[in-house]
Amino acid sequence: MHTARCLQRALALVLIAAASPWLVAQVQPSQDKEAMPEQNETTERRQYTFAWQFSEDSDLAPRGGTSTGPSVELDQSVSPEFARMTDASPSTLERDRRAILAMAGNFRTSFDFIETVGFEADYKPARPYQSWGTEFVTVVENSEKFISLQHILVMRINLPSGEISDPFVMKHWRQDWVYEPTEMTEFVGNQTWATRRLPPSSADSQWLQSVYQVDDSPRYQAMGKWEHFENYSSWHSDTTFRPLPRREFSVRQDYNVLIGTNKHTINPRGWVQEEENLKVRLNDAGSREVLAKEVGLARYERIVGWDWSPGQRYWTETESFWAEARRQWKTALSKPGSLQIQKEVNGVPLYATMFELAQSTQESAPEIMSQKIAETIERHISRRN
């Protein structure tokens, strides 16, 4: 228990909000000097996006990551992944697959979220959110109609002493892509997910994107089609319910569900995820009261010269553990009835327990590791008809 609590505090230093998932960062690696010049009087006074800062009685300085990190070197070349994607003929399954695979690689990431419209009479815009990170995205599985991409954070921060910290490594979010799925798992509110069969032909030519938390528990799923031109590929989801990301549930208590869409667009040097969310108060009777609309932009820019070896070593050492965790979550979600997930048990978050198990069971027999994962998941879930 003490070890789990210590791990929980340590993880708080490196949790990041990702594209839709996503988790709050306390570490903010700096941009390269060309992309992020030193702050001066002009930048401190500058208007933030959408002119909210002109409100006379508001203080909308962005919240989010507060630390800085060493400079990174952007990869200025057209990525081989983008070249392979555009080599494929538009409007083909292979073009879809290459677009998804183009999201793998080594990236500097940035996350920006801001409310753009309010729907209450006394509405005042909340502070925007900004955060940064460095992570690599690795291909876990790759078949004709299924691709799984795992994000791994490898971050360093500038210490007060002027030195650079040792790397912080953490398994981040995961995205799975299924072509023409036969079922999907939907978030229905109150930390509850339900799996349903899809009508025949309802998923023709569509991909289901599944987003998972850092502990491989579900976050949301959404369906959509890829759109391709000669030098452009983008996937736009349908509208789905999503639980609050950590950047929100840690500071907001006035709403309990996001209803939103997300769009993935591949560019020559990386990719971008755009979000459009409604912040909704959902009551027990099912009525929906919309508080505000939010837009988000997560930018993944390829970088070179960064030492990813600590993250690669972590993934090599724990990959079998997380494969078993994925299998057990899939089994739990496929059973009849809905599944409610409790984020904490005895004050310890699910992700902290899972991360500790990933380390402590590396030398364990596979059946012991599997049993411990099963016991942990079972403590955190309950079923409803």
pTM recorded for the entire structure? 0.86
What is the separation of C-alpha 54 from the centre of its chain, rounded to a whole number of angstroms? Answer: 31
How would you label 50-60 residue by residue, b for 16+ Cβ within 10 Å and e otherwise? eebbeeeeeeb
Predicted local distance difference test score (pLDDT) of residue 357: 97
Give the pLDDT confidence score for residue 368 in this predicted structure. 96
- Distance between CA 310 and CA 169 in Å, rounded? 7
C-alpha 103/C-alpha 136 separation (Å) is 10
Q: What is the pLDDT of residue 66?
A: 65
Map residue 88 onto helix, strand or coil. Answer: coil
**208 three-class SS:** strand
**pLDDT at residue 57 in the model:** 52
Closest Cα partner for 21 from 143, 153, 205?
153
- Where in the chain are the domains? 2-384
- Please give the chain's pLDDT, 385 residues, in tens: 444 444 444 444 444 333 333 333 333 333 343 333 333 444 455 555 566 554 555 566 667 666 778 899 999 999 999 999 999 888 789 999 999 999 999 999 999 999 999 999 999 888 889 888 999 999 999 999 999 999 999 999 989 998 999 999 999 999 999 999 999 999 999 899 999 999 988 999 999 999 999 999 999 999 999 999 999 999 999 999 999 988 888 888 899 999 999 999 999 999 999 999 999 998 877 789 999 999 999 999 999 999 999 999 999 999 999 999 999 999 999 888 899 999 999 999 999 999 999 999 999 999 999 999 999 999 999 988 7
DSSP secondary structure letters along 55-72: -TT---PPEE----B---
> If you search the block for the tokens 């399954």, which residue do you land on?
93
pLDDT at 42: 44
Check residue 247 and give its pLDDT: 86
- The closest of 267, 283, 203 to 238, measured between CA atoms, is 203
Query: What pLDDT shows up at residue 32?
Result: 44
Q: Which two tokens stand for residue 121?
A: 């009479």
Contact 240, 258 (CB under 8 A): no
Under 8 Å between Cβ of 150 and 62: no
pLDDT at 63: 73
* The pLDDT of residue 37: 35
